[in-house]
Amino acid sequence: MTTKQTIAGIAMGAALTLTAGQALAEQDLKFATVAPEGSIWYRMAENYASLVSQYSNGDLSVTIYPGGQLGAQDATLSQAVRGRIEIWAGGIVALAAIEPDLSPLLFPGVFESTEQANCMFPLLVEPTRAVLADVGQFVGFIPLGWNNLASVNELNSISDIAGQNIRSLPIPIAVQLWQHLGATAVPLDTAETASALSTGMVTLVDTAMAFWVATGHAELAPNYYLTQHNYNVAAALIGNRTWNAMSAEDQAALSRANDEAWNWATVNGMYAGFESRLTEIAQGQGASIHELSAEDRAIVQAAGEAVWEPALAELGDGARAYLDTMLRIREQCPAG
């Protein structure tokens, strides 16, 4: 064998060894979400996956499982905490079920305008990260838009909901809000709402624009009132078991991707205009979008704040401290 052949053989062997080493070093991270493929939230996850691969130099990859392929939000969150799923994204309702101190994110009336919410969420990242430290690495907030009120029948004022059944979010404070306003709250999952509307079990729905349109509820309850009683967000989380098993280099790559991909300005920029397109779709289907009068908006705001204290009495000091943090941050963020 010539010297050139020997050198070539050594180089090829080294290349094969390097390739094998890279293949062994690469870790695929399962990303569980209920967001459907092709949705705006799926595109956010795709952007995140691209950045993770880029910043880890290919050592890490992310496979997205959309549409609840790996299970419901609460089940996949439990798996993420146990390290069986690496990355989870889902609603605050599921996250608050395992960390009740975050429940004030669901309190009606905390956010007074879109401008205020956009100012507050970047400032809430670090306090939220601290609350979740024992559970996992908080990645960031994901916008879902305002929760509003959809109705089968046209309303003249917010007082018209008195005595009607409303599909409430399946959380105590949402039930308390609608009861305070005189309606009868029926806590239901989104998947159960269409049936409840069709059978007349409920005539009102507490829902975000995206869910109202995408689920077909806009055709069943075509009157949509911009109560804006809570700005709805999802969140992303990496369980501590996954995080602690990673090398310092991979943690640094993930942190960089987390901060860039889930930066509020970034995701909100992707979300911007989405609700306007949904409004056009709904109106094209015959639905009507209604602004609230200043008097009705004040009534909804007051009702929201009225149910904070009863909720805090059940949730305890941790939730009270988180709400205090939210209110201090709100002071820095004018309503508009």
pLDDT digits (tens, 9 = 90+) for 151-169: 999 999 999 999 999 999 8
Q: Which of 211, 74, 101 is nearest to 147 (CA)?
A: 211
Is residue 110 scored above 80 in pLDDT? Answer: yes
Q: Which pLDDT score, from 0 to 100, does residue 191 have?
A: 82
Residue 22 has pLDDT above 70, yes or no: no
* pLDDT bracket for residue 20 (50, 70, 90): very low
Q: Where are the domains of the chain?
A: 3-331
Residue 26, classed as helix, strand or coil, is coil
For residue 39, the cross-strand partners are none
Q: Is beta strand 223-239 parallel, antiparallel or unpaired with respect to 136-151? A: antiparallel
What's phi and psi for 247, nearest 5 deg?
A: -70, 160
Q: CA–CA distance from 96 to each of 16, 32, 156 (Å)?
A: 48, 18, 35
How buried is residue 294: exposed, middle or buried, by Cβ count under 10 Å (0-12/13-18/19+)? exposed
Sequence-ordered list of residues with C-beta below 8 angstroms from that of 279, at least 6 positions apart, any chain: 209, 289
Beta-strand pair 223-239/87-91: antiparallel
Reduced to 3 states, what is the DSSP secondary structure of residue 206?
Answer: strand
Instruction: Give the architecture (CATH level 2) of 3-331.
Output: 3-Layer(aba) Sandwich (3.40)
Count of Cβ atoms closer than 10 Å to residue 6 Cβ: 10
Q: What is the pLDDT of residues 228-281, one digit of tens each?
A: 999 999 999 999 999 999 999 999 999 999 999 999 999 998 998 888 888 899
Q: Please give the mean pLDDT across all residues of the chain.
A: 91
- Say if residue 13's pLDDT is above 50: no
At 190, the pLDDT band (50, 70, 90 cuts) reads confident
- The mean per-residue pLDDT over the stretch 305-310 comes to 96
Dist CA 187 CA 172 (whole Å):
9
Spatial separation of the C-alpha atoms in residues 201 and 157, rounded to whole Å:
22
**pLDDT category, 23, cuts 50, 70, 90?**
very low
And the tokens for 319?
């939730």
Q: What is the pLDDT of residue 2?
A: 44
Burial class of residue 223 in the structure, from the number of CB atoms within 10 Å of its CB (0-12 exposed, 13-18 middle, 19+ buried): middle
Please enumerate in sequence order all residues whose Cβ is within 8 A of that of 290, keeping only pairs 6 or more positions apart, or say none: 155, 223, 224, 225, 226
Q: Per-residue pLDDT for 9 more than 80?
A: no
